[in-house]
Amino acid sequence: MTGLPGFTVEIDQNPYLPAGGRDVSAIITVTAEESGDTDTPPSTGSAAAPGAGNAEIIIIDCSGSMDYPPTKMTEARAATAAAIDVIHDGTSFAVVAGTSTSWPVYPSDGSMAVADNRTRSEAKAALRQLRASGGTAIGQWLRLAHQIFSSSPATLRHAILLTDGKNQHETPEELAAAISLCEGVFRCDCRGVGTDWEVAELRKISTALLGTVDIVVDPAGLAADFEAMMSEAMSKQLPDVLLRVWTPQQAALKFIKQVAPAIDDLTSRRLASGAQAGDYPTGAWAPGESRDYHVSVAVNPANLGQEMLAARVSLVASSAEGQQVLGQGLIRVTWTDDEALSTRINSRVAGYTGQAELAAAIAEGLEANKRGDEEVATARLGRAVALAHEAGNEETARLLASVVDVVDEATGTVRLKKRVDAAAEMALDTRSTKTVRVRKG
């Protein structure tokens, strides 16, 4: 056996269906077990100790717009330096600059340095030479990061990408090709500073590369955000975990979504892994980390009283011994004529279904507002207000109140604000998929 930590897999569902019932929904809570002594180097194939097996690249937008105002470039350099200070000793790292092209800032030969006091000092000295000039071609930045990461044997690869503008100096197809190239090679957290960048553009990157996207309105907030992102990256110890879902021949998976800490539909990312089974990427995990997934399965109806295994959910990771199952849970269903059982609503399934609807309502409302359809925008954002109130999602409710005037939050009665601050609208957009954890009961 390897030293890979295990996962606990808990299933929340109503296991009863009425006669002829087909649809089965369950919330799968997956928790990585706490590792032991992380100061001891792990054995081959085990989770990495802090610094070992990690690689980090920080990608900084150095286009001309980063000089307007000049504090953007100044704060970007300071934030990168702050992130470098958080990197654990022994971690491979590099800094990349991007305009309409890209180049390695440190190490300047396009390799990766190993973090220690000397290399951190050298990297921060190199940062001080950066100046803003030129255009924006984010695909070029990602390609250089891919090239640098590919030279590293590290298994936990993570990047931070900062921009303040739109991807104006390459085609959408070129950016899409670069994202595809990087998919599965490294994770990437994206940040936009100011309000002149496109949320949808960075979301495409962060979603494909299993990262996050957010806005930093004031450049002065970059350092704290970079420190937090790097600290989170340093906590990851288990790379490339797959969520494997097997269904019997009498059943078919309808969808699988991560629903906490944020909504991410994984359904289209299925990789076949044997008869009736598919693998879905979850990225890297930290010890003790917990996430929730919503699994929906369609089954062929059976006789009353008959029990059926609707799906088996497993956590799978690669080790020196090949693929290893680190945890498993079973979704079962029984047909009954007892209406009290078959009509019972599982609170966690209902809670996360509502929060998925909340995210969709925000996206639809903001899109309608952009195209000038005030009627649809008011209706969808009003629905979002009611759903946020119902879910107790105070952060999303606060963000919604910055783009609509709330008349009655319980009924979702709202009026569109005459003037909406661009930063407020972008913050609502970027954070709309964040959820409130639905507890048992």
Indicate whether 390 and 324 sit together in one domain: no
- On the question of pLDDT at 17 being above 50, the answer is yes
| CATH number assigned to the domain comprising residue 333 | 2.60.40.3670
Indicate whether 70 and 213 sit together in one domain: yes
Per residue in 116-144, pLDDT tens? 999 999 999 999 999 999 999 999 999 99
Does residue 394 belong to any structural domain of this protein? yes
Indicate whether 271 and 327 sit together in one domain: yes
* Range in 297-306, 308-317, 320-329, 389-398 with the lowest mean pLDDT: 320-329
Q: What is the pLDDT of residue 172?
A: 97
- On the question of pLDDT at 318 being above 90, the answer is no
Average pLDDT, the chain: 94
- On the question of pLDDT at 385 being above 60, the answer is yes
Indicate whether 403 and 426 sit together in one domain: yes
Domain total in the chain: 3
Indicate whether 161 and 257 sit together in one domain: no
Share of the chain above pLDDT 90, in %: 92
Does residue 118 belong to any structural domain of this protein? yes
Does residue 101 belong to any structural domain of this protein? yes
Residue 86 dihedral angles phi and psi, to the nearest 5°: -85, -20
Indicate whether 269 and 383 sit together in one domain: no
Does residue 44 belong to any structural domain of this protein? no
Indicate whether 222 and 78 sit together in one domain: yes
- On the question of pLDDT at 38 being above 80, the answer is no
Indicate whether 103 and 129 sit together in one domain: yes
Does residue 342 belong to any structural domain of this protein? no
Per residue in 146-165, pLDDT tens? 999 999 999 999 999 999 99
Q: HEC profile for the chain?
A: CCCCCCEEEEEEECCEECCCCCEEEEEEEEEECCCCCCCCCCCCCCCCCCCCCEEEEEEEECCHHHHCCCHHHHHHHHHHHHHHHHCCCCCEEEEEEECCCEEEEECCCCCCEECCHHHHHHHHHHHCCCCCCCCCCHHHHHHHHHHHHHCCCCCEEEEEEEECCCCCCCCHHHHHHHHHHHCCCCEEEEEEECCCCCHHHHHHHHHHCCCCEEEECCHHHHHHHHHHHHHHHHHCCEEEEEEEEECCCCEEEEEEEEEECECEECHHHCEECCCCEEEEEEEEECCCCEEEEEEEEEECCCCCCCEEEEEEEEEEEEECCEEEEEEEEEEEEEECCCHHHHCCCCHHHHHHHHHHHHHHHHHHHHHHHHCCCHHHHHHHHHHHHHHHHHHCCHHHHHHHCCCEEEEECCCCEEEECCCCCHHHHHHHHHHCCECCCCCCC
Q: What is the pLDDT of residue 320?
A: 73
Does residue 440 belong to any structural domain of this protein? no
Confidence of residue 3 (pLDDT cuts 50, 70, 90): low
Rounded distance between C-alpha atoms, residue 369 and residue 88, angstroms: 45
Strands 213-216 and 187-193: parallel
Query: How many CA atoms, within 13 angstroms, populate the side-chain half-sphere of residue 239?
Result: 22
Per residue in 42-81, pLDDT tens? 332 333 444 448 999 999 999 999 999 999 999 999 999 9
- On the question of pLDDT at 375 being above 70, the answer is yes
Does residue 410 belong to any structural domain of this protein? yes
Per residue in 323-349, pLDDT tens? 999 999 999 999 999 999 999 999 999
| CATH number assigned to the domain comprising residue 94 | 3.40.50.410
* Range in 228-242, 319-333, 345-359 with the lowest mean pLDDT: 319-333
Indicate whether 402 and 253 sit together in one domain: no
Range of the domain at 15: 7-33+238-337
Last residue of a domain, one of 337, 363, 398: 337
Last residue of a domain, one of 292, 318, 337: 337
Indicate whether 285 and 392 sit together in one domain: no
Indicate whether 124 and 19 sit together in one domain: no
Per residue in 183-208, pLDDT tens? 999 999 999 999 999 999 999 999 99
Q: What is the pLDDT of residue 440?
A: 82
Last residue of a domain, one of 206, 235, 264: 235
Confidence of residue 275 (pLDDT cuts 50, 70, 90): confident
Indicate whether 108 and 242 sit together in one domain: no
Q: In which residue are the tokens 């925008």 written?
A: 377
Does residue 215 belong to any structural domain of this protein? yes
